[in-house]
Structures are given as C-alpha cells and as structure tokens.
Amino acid sequence: MNWFLLVIISALAGSFARILQKVLLNDKDNHPAAFAFVFQITVSLIMLVWALIEGFKIPNLIPLIPYVIAMALLYALANLSLFKAFKSAEASEATILLSSSTIWSVLSAVALLGEKLTLVKIIATILVFFGVATVYYSKSRWKLNQSHLFALLSGILFGVAFTNDAFLVSKFENVSSYMFIAFLLPALAILLFQPRAVRQLKHLLHKNVIAKLLLTCLFYGISAVTVFQAYKNGGEASVISPISQTSVLMTLAISYFLLKERDRLPNKIIGALLVLTGVWIIS
C-alpha cells in the first residue's frame, strides 16, 4: 500500500484513540503511571496477536541493544510525562507543547537517520506546528509551570523515539513483531520508574473501563502499525511525522459531529488550513 495512504489511515485511527484516551483520563481515579502501564501492556498483547497471524519474527537484537534500551526508556518517560501533563495542565496548552514532537522528529531524523533537511521540510513543519497551536490556542495567562514542562518533555521524547523506532523497524521483517516489543518494554520500564503504580491497577480493570480501554488500545495499535509500515514502504520519517499531525484535524471533525464540541471555530478553521497547507507542501 502507498506510504501516504498508510499515514492517513494511521492519523484517522490515532484520532479515535486520542478521543477515547481523553475520556479515560478525565476520570480522576485513573492514576497516570498505572494508566500508562496498562495501556502499553494491552497494546503489546494486541500486537502479539497481530504478529502471530503475520508470522512472528525477531531479528538478532544484540547489535541493536543500545537502540532497544533507548526505545524502552524514551517511551516510558514520554508516556509518564504525557499523562502527568494531561492530569494537571490545561488540555489546550499541553497539546500545543506536545505537538512540538513533529519538530523534534524532523531534527532527529536528520541527525540520526541522515535524512536531508530541505527548505520545504522546514516550512511545512513550521506550518503544521503553528496550525496545531492555533487549533488548540485559548486565551490564558500561560504561566510556565511543572505541567507545561512535562508536556514539552513528552513532545521531545516522543519525537526522538519516533526516529529511533524508524531505525529499529527497518531491521524487522514485519512491523507488528517490532510493535510487540516496542510496547512491552516501555511498559516494563514504567514499572521500574513507578513500581507503586501496580497498586492503582484495580480501577482500570473495572468492567466499565475495560471496554473503552481495549477499544482505545486497538485504535492506537492500528495507528502505530500503519505509520511505521509507511516508513518501511518508502516514506521518510521527517515527512511522515508532519503528515501524521492531520490526526488533529480528524479529531476536531469527530469531536464536532459526535461530541458537539463547537467552541473556538475560527481558531480551528485557521489552524486546519495551516496544517493542510503544510501537508500539501511536503507530500
């Protein structure tokens, strides 16, 4: 399948996952570390089933150990930072800072994967970032606090992690086999950082939560597989990352029609146009 179409599918699945994630995190009883652990483990199990259907194959990981360790640490810390940010920061402010992951992905792809940084990529990335920022911007005093730092840190970590993933997934025969360890190892790493999170798992295993959690993880798993399959099919990490931000527009559309979220429409329209312009330039 064409890599561009795979990125669009990834963005659509990611938008559904984002909305469901937001619903789950709105519950104050959901501990950030516990949610991050359960989320990662659940997606890894879905990926294992997917990999067994495709043909589970793991290459020799010994030469890749530094990258595998980096992957586990980057995603563990990124998820912990993300859920901490969304627990206490304004959602709009945290999302704007998190969207900087696109910038870090482009820069790290140039540095680590040797991809070329062209003027077109720079302009497109800037347009996409400011488009997302415009979509989520709301008038507030924006006093820098710990939650903002967590959101920015999460954006940096996710951006670099995406590039590291792009390198690792190229060593695997199929994406799902890599995705299994890419979700499993960060989950285990989360427990190393937050061992007490185990005590908070009871609420997440409630029957009213499990169905939403499984659906969230399924959509997220589809999003992850398709975006990295796009890389294996010829897309560049520094191009895929900005295009994947179209998930923001899809989230807005879904929220508009299903959740009746119709506030700040001028911001959303202008932001959407900026994102689409950036994607059009780079695609």
- At 191 the pLDDT is 82
- At 246 the pLDDT is 85
Span 139-158, pLDDT tens digits? 666 566 777 888 889 999 99
Q: Which residue has the tokens 């064409």?
A: 2
- At 259 the pLDDT is 65
Rounded Cα–Cα distance for residues 135 and 109 (Å): 26
Select from 201, 251, 172 the least CA-distant residue to 40: 201
Dump strand ranges (E) for the chain: none
Q: Which residues lie closer than 8 Å to 7 by C-beta, 6 or more apart? A: 226, 227, 230, 235, 240, 243, 244, 246
- At 207 the pLDDT is 72
Q: Which residues lie closer than 8 Å to 76 by C-beta, 6 or more apart? A: 36, 186, 187, 189, 190, 192, 193
Count CB neighbours of 207 within 10 A: 6
- At 28 the pLDDT is 65
Q: Which residue has the tokens 């415009």?
A: 134
Q: Which residues lie closer than 8 Å to 113 by C-beta, 6 or more apart? A: 163, 166, 167, 237, 238
Rounded Cα–Cα distance for residues 131 and 275 (Å): 5
Residue ranges of the chain with pLDDT lower than 50? none
Rounded Cα–Cα distance for residues 153 and 141 (Å): 21
- At 95 the pLDDT is 73
Q: Which residues lie closer than 8 Å to 265 by C-beta, 6 or more apart? A: none
- At 145 the pLDDT is 73
Distance between alpha carbon 273 and the CA centroid of its chain, in Å?
22
Rounded Cα–Cα distance for residues 7 and 4 (Å): 5
Select from 65, 66, 79, 58 the least CA-distant residue to 191: 79
